[in-house]
Structure 1
Amino acid sequence: MVGSVEMEQAAVIFKLLGDRTRLTMLKLLDEHTCCVCEFVEIFQVSQPSISQHLRKIRDVGLVKEERKGQWIFYSLNKSNAYYTFLAPLLEQLPDQSYRLKELEENGTRINCC
């Protein structure tokens, strides 16, 4: 069936979504491009911790990376086969844009650039 996800693939996605940090990251990346340093500020955790979360999401192809100088920016890979499965779930979640707005107000939005 076109557009369907196998049970094993669905289990992998649900496991990723089972972590609040990754779930919030995916919601943010659905509408915004973010750098690791922004996630460090938002979640108040270490850079290695954020990188681990991003690696798990990247391993299933749900995020894209774009290098700008020494920095890597992440966005949701909407052409990934899993995105059609993920998108309706993300639509049900509350908007997280306020987190980036807070960074802007604090002067820490994209402090890596």
Structure 2
Amino acid sequence: MVVPPSSEELLQGKATFMCLANKGFPSGWSLTWKVDGRSSSSSWEQSRSPGVVQKDGLYRWSSTLRLPADQWRKVGSVTCEATQGSQTPVTETLRRDQCSQS
């Protein structure tokens, strides 16, 4: 699940996206970001939270992507890609036109 930036944050010139993942073990997963289908750029800031154990013994964790707000206004989408080993990646894409505050 990709959480979009708030309208208040965009007014401050930033756009922060959060990718939420759960039901696994964070050490076995890689969370990566793509903007308009392209992998990382020097103007992006990415970070990852440590995993939090849930009642079922599996984890919940997240990855954060920060872009300048003016860059977000120029792109069409951001994608969070979760990969575990050689399995097919799981992707979630947020299109800018899906966001009311864009």
Same fold (TM over 0.5): no
Which protein has the bigger helix share?
1
Higher strand share: 2
Could you state the TM-score of these two structures normalised by the residue count of structure 1? 0.28
TM-score normalised by length of structure 2: 0.30
